[in-house]
Amino acid sequence: MKILILGAGQVGSTVAESLVGEANDITIVDSDGEKLRLLQDRLDLRTVVGNAAHPSTLEQAGIRDADMLLAVTQSDEVNLVACKLAASLYNTPTRIARIRAADYLNREDIFNADNFCVDFSICPEQILTEYIVKLIEFPEALQVQKFSQGKASLAAVRAFKGGPLVGQPLSFLRTDMPQVEARVAAIFRQDRPLIPEGDTVIEEGDEVFFIAATENIRSVLKEMRRMDKPAKRVAIVGGGNIGFRLAREIEHHYQVKLIEFNKQACERLAGKLTNTLVLHGDGTDEKLMQQEHIGEVDVFCALTND
């Protein structure tokens, strides 16, 4: 497959590294020639220096016969324009854009065929935010994936001695929790997959993947291991894109303190967050940490750019 990647930043270079080893023909475009040189020294790909929103640059990069366009520059506007050009001028089959601004993400019609012609939009910052939210909500789980509009979840947990189901056959789950609909989908024991049956016994150290209603995930996790008390207080250091998104996502469910070094950013954050205590200060200031009792919070998230 011939893939054109726009943007050689962290996202673009990571995507290129993942795809280049799969017999794909990769070309990456960026305005920074030094970034491209360093990338080309490591990976077997082609590079083009130029503005990713200019038709001449896209043509030099081979847009006319590309199978897929991945527009992942730092600029939402460049990514949108590139997708529009790829669709209207070059009929590129698949167009993916990295979008960060909520103003765009909240308007799905912007991406349709009548506007910017984006097949799939991705927001790495939002993906990371959602991952952190799941860690706060279910710290005992290895991973949690929600689906069906968040009504159901697939969760993975490592079984520990003392969990009611550990040392018991899977059929015991229904006996112990008759009111909860849950299914064990897979078990990994010493990195080897097992097909779960009713008489399969959960052993200490097993990685157990199960499906249940999201509201019952915590109850099923308790069957596999000892649970900590649910988190109530969260401290966030860094009010950038991810710190702000996280605070906005959780502020109505937890007591949230957000520490930001930039005073103007603090004022902006305080105006946007309705239930978060925004503090102006340095996240490495021990006196501030003590004054705000940060040592007593349940979850501490360091999300600065440093």
Residue burial 137-146, b: 16+ Cβ < 10 Å; e: rest: bbebbeebee
Give me the residue spans of the domains in the chain. Answer: 2-122, 140-221, 233-302
- The reply to whether domains 2-122 and 140-221 share a CATH topology is no
Structure confidence at residue 228 (pLDDT): 74
Name residue 6's beta-bridge partners. Answer: 29, 71
Max CA distance (Å), the chain: 67
Structure-block tokens of residue 179? 């009111």
Closest-CA residue to 129 (of 288, 305, 301): 301
> Reduced to 3 states, what is the DSSP secondary structure of residue 230?
coil
Whole-number Å distance between alpha carbons of 227 and 140: 7
Q: How far apart are CA 124 and CA 132, in angstroms?
A: 12
φ/ψ of residue 22, rounded to 5: -110, 35
Q: From CA 298, how far away is CA 306, in angstroms rounded?
A: 23
Q: CB under 8 Å to 170, separation ≥6 — which residues? A: 184, 196, 197, 198, 199, 200, 201, 202
Backbone phi and psi for residue 165, each to the nearest 5 degrees, phi listed first: -85, -15
Q: Which CATH architecture has domain 233-302?
A: 3-Layer(aba) Sandwich (3.40)
d(CA 14, CA 16) in angstroms, rounded, equals 5
* Spatial strand order in the sheet of 68-71: 46-49, 25-30, 2-6, 68-71, 94-98, 120-122
CATH class label, 140-221: alpha beta
Q: Is 27 helix (H, G, I), strand (E, B) or coil?
A: strand
* Helix (H) / strand (E) containing 174: helix 171-176
Three-class SS state of 291: helix
- What is residue 148's predicted lDDT score, i.e. its pLDDT? 86
Locate tokens 């509009």: which residue?
149
Q: Is 73 helix (H, G, I), strand (E, B) or coil?
A: coil
- What are the pLDDT tens digits along the chain (306 aa)? 999 999 999 999 999 999 987 789 999 999 999 999 999 999 999 999 999 999 999 999 999 999 999 999 999 999 999 999 999 999 999 999 999 988 898 888 999 988 999 999 999 888 899 889 988 988 888 888 888 888 899 999 999 988 888 999 999 888 888 888 889 999 999 999 999 998 999 999 999 999 999 899 988 888 888 777 888 999 999 999 999 999 999 999 999 999 999 999 999 999 999 999 999 999 999 999 999 999 999 999 999 987
Which pTM was predicted? 0.76
CATH (one of 3.20.20.70, 3.30.460.10, 3.40.47.10, 3.40.50.720) for 2-122: 3.40.50.720
Please give the pLDDT value at position 208: 94
Contact at 8 Å (CB) between 122 and 97? yes
